[in-house]
Amino acid sequence: MSIVIVNYGLGNLAAIKNMLRKLGHDSVISSDVDVIAGAGKLIIPGVGAFGKGMENIKSMNLLDVLNKKALNEKVPVLGICLGMQLLTSHSEEGNVNGLNWIPLQTKKFVFSQEQKLTIPHMGWTDVEYKPNHWLFEGYTEQPRFYFAHSYYVEYTPAYSVAEAVYGFKFACAIEHENIVGVQFHPEKSHRFGLNLLNNFATK
């Protein structure tokens, strides 16, 4: 059963497909309910506003099939960037409820003038992950990933499997049962991203 990259109108879809192809994994980009219903694994990418993402998922009639795949059939799911944030219960961006697959909150970066940190957080950042976690297997050096985001998911030990620091510690990878999400862009993170996508594809 194939990996389906869900096309809900937002996200760097072709880059993810290209990375998977480079690794030797077949995938399809689709917004078709029947195609998504037959998926063995789902990738939910995303770039842009949380509210627009949820609006598109609902207006394209994808909510029911996504809930069925993730919550009932429990197929492996990977959310990327906005796709990870959509997995949470709620976002401060537009005060919008998310898919609520992982009971976490998405919050806006707020810094003091003294911290002199710009928003969005953009660029390469080191990631600390739980030892021996399957999503981060195979790294022989400190992994660094490419980030571009103005909102973050709160760090919670129960669901966070990796964290990064930008002003403070935040969750950059989360997991609940069959569902994982990463705040960074593996498709822009060269060998580090290739390794992570391969781990998901072969799980």
pLDDT tens-digit series, residues 12-71: 899 999 999 999 999 999 999 999 999 999 999 999 999 999 999 999 999 999 999 999
Helix (H, G, I), strand (E, B) or coil at 131: coil
Whether 187 is a known active-site residue: answer yes
Catalytic residue of the set 93, 149, 163, 185: 185
CA gap 173, 170 in Å, rounded: 9
What pLDDT digit, counting tens, does each position of 112-150 carry?
A: 999 999 999 999 999 999 999 999 999 999 999 999 999
CA gap 169, 176 in Å, rounded: 20
DSSP state of 113: G
Total number of domains constituting the chain: 1
- The kind and range of the H/E element at 173 are strand 168-176
Read off the pTM: 0.97
Beta pairing, strands 128-129 & 160-166:
antiparallel
CA gap 28, 19 in Å, rounded: 12
> Residue 85: which CATH number?
3.40.50.880
Beta-carbon neighbour count of residue 119 at 10 Å? Answer: 14
> CA dihedral in degrees (54, 134, 183, 14; nearest 10)?
-70
Whether 73 is a known active-site residue: answer no
> Residue 143's domain spans which residues?
3-202
Catalytic residue of the set 73, 81, 149, 154: 81
Q: Is the pLDDT of residue 1 over 80?
A: no
> 139: number of CA atoms within 13 Å, CB side?
26
70, two tokens: 């993730």
CA gap 40, 37 in Å, rounded: 9
